[in-house]
Structure 1
């Protein structure tokens, strides 16, 4: 409706037009229309789904170096039932890949110190303490995984204990996990206390003055 059309309207017609424009659109909330009509109108106004015209599709790349290749072929001809020998050349008509994680289980290396008797002089010679026995019994990979889950994924000690048990079959106490993280090279923590098997403890990496302040045993100020 143009300006000239509006000028030809009477006062009552203009008022009716303004009131009609101010009314909200009829929906199931503002009228007796069923809710199904709302969804139909929304579908009519909505844009079609899927990629836009001219969009270049992307798909997962097929691996050039698969760990295992399984070939599937018929052992008999579907037309004459003749036996199809396994040495017949085949043509790959499709490729399908299945990606999975390898089974992970703890690898335990046991170091045994041996004592032997010298045949020349009869002395009992004991092997020196290996370097592995001087450190924590947990290896660097376990340190890295525990630190990642505790620091970056913000797992509590209880959930970290459950995660290591569920994922790797490791049975570690929460005290053992705290000692493990205490010996890690990098530990991100503040002075907030944590609960270890029902006890209030300070996290590893908190300096000793902070531990004294948190426990209330700090020196009184002068």
Structure 2
């Protein structure tokens, strides 16, 4: 009887131990799954945090803190608070210094306007009858029109029979008809400094000067100008390399429909 009870108790204990072992194994499996899930959630949270930061950065961009045009600004960002009115009237304040266009002491040209006849008796009047005048000055630019200059290199025969030909000036191209250095300089200035596209540069030159330049001619000037400044660029590169402090920056521009970056390097002015 005692042996049977002891055997039953051992089997119950083994059954309980087995049940506990299975429960422990299940708990360990759930812990491993929870740990794996926590790792995945942490990675997802990191990705979402980076995504939110990027979206906030993009949302905060506007024409005031980036290269975006003003037309791309939206009203989703923080709006400026209306400034309190100062009580002053609009425009120049009493006592403020003037900023109008001052008259030149020595004008380039003078035109005298004299009345033709007296408004009283009708007698003819001229400049000798003037007792004073009112001055007004006008600033304007002369009408710019393309001027065609023909260069003729003459051949001269000496008494000895030898024919000598005068060379053409150095600025005259070898082709029968060409554009001069002033038009070259204007086109390069508009392209490089003012960032005007090739086609619009050709249109502007045609409208302002009357010279019927082609887009192909305008586009060909950049390699020519680059060759002329190559020595200067090499000197600038050498000075930048030798500089102790160098400031580097970049800005955007568009060539056609493609966005490009312009890289800038600046050294001390004393170099």
TM range (shorter): 0.5 to 0.7
Aligned residues: 147
Alpha-carbon RMSD: 3.6
SS of the residue 2:102 aligns to: coil
Distance 1:152 1:114 in 2: 40
CA offset at residue 70 of structure 1? 2.6
Matches within 5 A, 1:30-179: 47-78=88-119, 80-83=120-123, 85-86=125-126, 87-92=128-133, 94-120=134-160, 122-128=161-167, 130-133=169-172, 137-179=178-220
Gapped runs of 5+ residues in structure 1?
1-43, 196-222
Distance 1:77 1:155, change over 3 A: same
CA deviation profile, 1:12-71 (whole Å, cap 9, x unmatched): xxxxxxxxxxxxxxxxxxxxxxxxxxxxxxxx9964222223212232211222233233
Moved more, 59-68 or 144-153: 59-68
With normalisation by structure 1, the TM-score equals: 0.52
CA offset at residue 160 of structure 1? 0.6
| Higher Cα Rg, which structure | 2
Please identify which structure carries the higher helix content: 2
Moved more, 59-68 or 158-167: 59-68
Distance 1:163 1:176 in 2: 14
Gapped runs of 5+ residues in structure 2?
1-84, 234-253, 258-271
Distance 1:144 1:138 in 2: 11
SS of the residue 2:171 aligns to: helix
